[in-house]
Amino acid sequence: MSKLQSALALLDRFERGEFIEPSDAEKLLVQIFEACGYPVTEKGFVGSSSALLEVDCFIRAKVDGALKMIAVEVKAGSRPAGIESVEQAFKLKTAGPFDRAMIVSRLGFSADAIQRADTIGLGEIDLLGPEQLRNWIGKQAEPQDVVSRCETIVRHAMRELAKALAQHPDELSKVEWRDLERLLGEVFEGIGFDTRVTRSSKDGGVDLELTTFEEGMKQVYLVELKHWNEQKPGISHLKKLVRVTAARKATAGLLLSSSGFARPAYSGITEFTIPVHLGGKDKIVSLCRTYYRLSSALWLEDANLQEALLSGTFGRADWPKAVRD
């Protein structure tokens, strides 16, 4: 049995709860990390003498090409880890000599814990359930792509800008339209789409073309971006996207606007059978958060691309809600 196969077998035991004491669960995680080639330091105390905190273990691993020290907390109880686990991990990272913190929970995480991790620990606190950990272990056997120096610099810059927008949404108004278009191109690429940023003079009505394969079938999504200070796109802009989406037989079209939409655009959704969606400033920020979380995580999760693209947007089914809101 290879080391990675051994790590997966140990993870199966952890997920099934094949341990008696919490310390036994921690030892399983230590064995998993060691099987993946990560040096592990087990239990210890961190922080000043007046505020000592106990950490289950910590590992050293490369993230973004740099060696990081990562505090690991193991949750093996009978319910999903809650918001208090995230608060504890944040204290560990702040008090100790750690670059980031990781929580591994046998039963996953509560919704408020996930939200809190995004709020106070975006890119610094990793939440891993068994499935995310299993996915990460599998990635250890895959060859790493060779990335050019220029591409590394650009992606680092885009990641930093995505982080800035995720944490400070009001900064969106300071980003130039063409820069935001390029940023979203990198965001969609990082989420998992094969992305093409079109030329403004020959775009045929869209700014980005996203391609992916779902169950062996090619799916194409068209994205049009409006980044205006005061004006809001209306029904004419929606109709243009509908025409292009239909002409290209795309899976769906998405009109993103940082300034929101004129009311006729929302009501116009009901006039068309072509699947088009509207996304505002919150959707742009949400995409940046998703990208930053994926690109800065120790593991690489398998995202549901259609859900990542269209969740939090308005389509035909959302029109009654748009009226109420």
pLDDT digits (tens, 9 = 90+) for 241-250: 999 999 999 9
pLDDT for res 257:
96
pLDDT for res 323:
44
pLDDT for res 259:
94
pLDDT at 181 over 60: yes
Which amino acid is residue 183, in one-letter code? L
Contact indicator for 137, 11 with CB cutoff of 8 Å: yes
pLDDT for res 42:
66
**Partners of 53 in beta bridges:** 46
> What's the whole-model pTM score?
0.64
pLDDT, tens only, 292-309: 877 766 655 556 888 889
Contact indicator for 130, 88 with CB cutoff of 8 Å: no
pLDDT for res 147:
61
Give the pairing of strands 40-46 and 53-63.
antiparallel
CATH 3.40.1350.10 fits 3-139, yes or no: yes
pLDDT for res 22:
87
pLDDT at 14 over 50: yes
pLDDT, tens only, 59-108: 887 766 678 888 899 999 999 999 999 999 998 888 878 888 999 999 99
- Split at pLDDT 50, 70, 90, the class of 237 is very high
Cα 154 to Cα 224: distance, rounded to the nearest angstrom: 23
pLDDT at 47 over 80: no
Phi (first) and psi of residue 64, to 5 degrees: 55, 35
User: Torsion angle of alpha carbons 79, 83, 88, 89, nearest 10°?
Assistant: 90
* DSSP code, position 56: E
What is the pLDDT of the chain when averaged over all its residues? 83
pLDDT, tens only, 132-156: 888 777 666 554 555 677 877 877 8
pLDDT for res 174:
92
Cα 322 to Cα 267: distance, rounded to the nearest angstrom: 9
pLDDT for res 238:
92
Q: Do domains 3-139 and 149-324 have the same CATH topology?
A: yes
pLDDT for res 201:
46
pLDDT for res 69:
87
Domain boundaries, the chain: 3-139, 149-324
| Site of tokens 């895959």 | 142
Nearest to 187 by CA among 159, 223, 151, 156: 159
pLDDT for res 203:
45
pLDDT for res 318:
67
pLDDT for res 7:
87
pLDDT for res 65:
64
pLDDT for res 159:
81
pLDDT for res 204:
57
| Site of tokens 């944040």 | 90
Looking at the domain 149-324, which fold is it? Trna Endonuclease; Chain: A, domain 1 (3.40.1350)
Cα 171 to Cα 180: distance, rounded to the nearest angstrom: 11
pLDDT, tens only, 183-216: 999 999 888 899 988 865 444 568 999 999 887 7
- Whole-number percent of the chain with pLDDT over 90: 37
Contact indicator for 262, 166 with CB cutoff of 8 Å: no
- Tally of CA atoms within 13 A in the half-sphere of 284 that contains its CB: 30
pLDDT at 252 over 70: yes
